[in-house]
Chains A and B, each alone.
Chain A
Amino acid sequence: MSGIWVWIEQHEGKAANVSWEAVGLARTLANNLGEPVTALVFGSNAPALAEEAIRRGADSAVACEDTTLVDYRLEPYAALLSKLVGEAKPSILLVGSTTRGIDVMGALAVDLEAGTIADVVGIEVDGGTIKATTPAYSGKLMATVVHADPGDAPRIFAIRSRAFPLPDGDAGRTGEVKMVEPVLAEDDIVTKAVSFEGTGGEISLTDAGIIVSGGRGVGGPEGYEPLRELCGVLDAALGASRASVDAGWIPYEHQVGQTGKVVAPDLYIACGISGAVQHQAGMRTSKVIVAINKDPEAPIFKLAHYGIVGDLFQVVPALTQAFKKKLG
């Protein structure tokens, strides 16, 4: 029972950044625990992604490329992962805390009677115990969680996007890539992927280094336009408060907060957002927070590092111009 395994998730042949962050974390743990790192990649582009996983820190990789695995579906992915992990019995398994990672980890936990810790933002090795920190009560508290008597089962952790550094690739690193066969045939899989509608090149909130977010103060759907322009200059993702989503001004996938997405970018620019406790729960761990609001008493200013008291329809375009000038 040894080894640190990382499941690399991919969409249309491109790995999620959080998976590389998991490889980076695995490398750090491996150096500490003296165990090898193995990456597992299934589906489109698996062999190439396996090589990339090795360049980013894995010692070896296991890959499976098959028509049943092109589009992610839980059953074939979990069945294969469950078989591989069950046979090799690694001591630790890392996945991304994403829609796919959470489901795959949940299924695996059932098969292997393994404990799981989701949404991990910190890991500390303390003798034989591995302590994970994870936000609780939707980010209002922080809990330290450990595995109880893992026995033969791996300790499974799902790590939050952007909580651990993204490792660069090292072209000099090489290792063995083992190709394996899938477990389920198409006839054994009850779900069929019908279609996929991408978000059209928009940067996803959970991956974004910068988020420009608008609340009730934007006043309507067209009020997001100046924010979109700022997003364009900064390569930022567009966020929104619950109030503006509930008003129908912007689709739900943009919502930040307790009933939306929990984010932690390097820079969070809150425009016309008062900063209700539910919103704060979704963004308070951002590295630098900027508030732009007409109301100097808005609670968001208590959380922000920098603020401008003023009309967002004047401030945001001025900020866009300033960045255009200064960033060339």
Chain B
Amino acid sequence: MRIVICTKETPDTAAKVDVAPDGSVTWGDAPLVINPWDEYAVEEALLLGDRGATATTVVGVGGEDTKEALKHALAMGVEEAILISDPTLVDADTLVTSRVIAQAVRKLDNVGLVMLGKITTDGGSGQTPAQVGWRLGWTILTYVSKIVDIDFSAGTITVERLLEEGKQVIQGKLPAVVSVVKDINEPRYPSFMGIRKASRAEIPVWGAGDLELDGISPKVKWVEIESLPPREGECQILEGETVEEAAGMLADKLIEEKVV
């Protein structure tokens, strides 16, 4: 069975993201990298190779930049990559993106599992995994911190999910869509050979026409984006003759602020 991993390109997490005077989002000299959560999805897909998955395909939706994220996945060991790129997808919301991914998955053969990071670190809302799964009518397992058991021939999967109140163990049938959290594994660094192979890879590009996507339009739009206002005022450093005195002063301040 094939595993499809979905990814996109996002600014490096250390980037200082800002808004330029023309209203566009900038991140200085910081590189665009594979969405950090998706690295865990790639790693988990590769680990499943030992548990009976037979092929891995990474799919990215976006512009030319997205190829770097796809190449990162190839360098880690994914076998093939596909870029889905179309001018009509520039303002895609999750409804559009999930439809594009679902169509791509239908076009690929023998897919047993779709894996994604739990969210993207740009405009991410975290809904894409559930929406892809709901469109396909597959089992949906989000926020997965561990694949407890998977049997590709029997078509069963059991996972541990990280919810607000604790860990849920839940069982489902394949095919499934799985989104992963950071706890699930430790992504490998691409090997030198992997990087060389990825840099030479020819990545096929599918357009909206290839996926029979006509007349889809986003249902939400961003009307404004702004930097957070800088924090006003200075930090008040509390000093005392002793640590106890400084701690006492801090406690008084916090009681005064009515936050304890």
Contact = CB atoms under 8 A, between A and B. Distances in A.
A88 interface: no
A219 interface: no
Interface in A291-328: 291, 296, 301-310, 314-315, 318-319, 321-323, 326-327
A319 B247 contact: yes
Given A190-B139, A287-B259, A315-B247, A302 B220 contact: no
B164 A16 contact: yes
B212 interface: no
B154 interface: no
A296 B239 CA distance: 12
A296 B237 CA distance: 10
B252 to A, nearest CB: 7
Contacts of B254: 267, 288, 290, 306
Contact of B221 (A148, A153, A290): A148
Query: Majority SS of interface residues in chain B?
Result: mixed
Interface in A256-286: 258-260, 266-267, 276-278, 284-285
A161 to B, nearest CB: 9
A131 B221 CA distance: 10
B25 A318 contact: no
A106 B127 contact: yes
B226 A142 contact: yes
B10 to A, nearest CB: 8
A89 interface: no
Query: Majority SS of interface residues in chain A?
Result: mixed
Interface in A203-229: 204, 206-207, 209-210
A191 interface: yes
Contact of B134 (A110, A143, A147): A110
Q: Chain B, interface size: which category?
A: 35 or more
Given A136-B122, A278-B13, A304 B172 contact: no
A146 interface: yes
Interface residues of A, number: 99
A23 to B, nearest CB: 18
B16 A277 contact: yes
A118 interface: yes
Interface stretch (A47-55, A57-65, A172-180, A193-201): A193-201
Contacts of B217: 148
A306 B235 contact: yes
Contacts of B246: 308, 310, 315, 318
Contact of A141 (B140, B228, B236): B228
B181 interface: yes
Interface in B131-172: 131, 134-135, 139-143, 145, 158, 161-172
Contacts of A105: 127
B11 interface: yes
B95 A109 contact: yes
Contact of A115 (B95, B145, B173, B231): B95
Given A318-B243, A319-B247, A306 B223 contact: no
Contact of B168 (A190, A193, A284): A193
Given A106-B131, A291-B235, A140 B228 contact: yes
Interface string B217-260: 11111111111100101011111000110111011111101011
A252 B260 CA distance: 26
B14 interface: yes
B77 interface: no
A234 B165 CA distance: 20
Given A194-B158, A207-B164, A302-B231, 16 more contacts: A99-B143, A99-B163, A105-B127, A116-B94, A118-B126, A143-B222, A145-B222, A146-B221, A193-B168, A252-B182, A253-B162, A259-B182, A277-B13, A277-B14, A306-B253, A322-B244
Interface of A: 11-12, 16, 71, 73-75, 78, 98-100, 102-107, 109-111, 113-119, 131, 136-150, 153, 158, 190-199, 204, 206-207, 209-210, 234, 251-253, 255, 258-260, 266-267, 276-278, 284-285, 287-288, 290-291, 296, 301-310, 314-315, 318-319, 321-323, 326-327
10 contacts: A99-B161, A116-B95, A136-B123, A136-B225, A141-B225, A195-B168, A196-B166, A259-B121, A288-B257, A315-B246
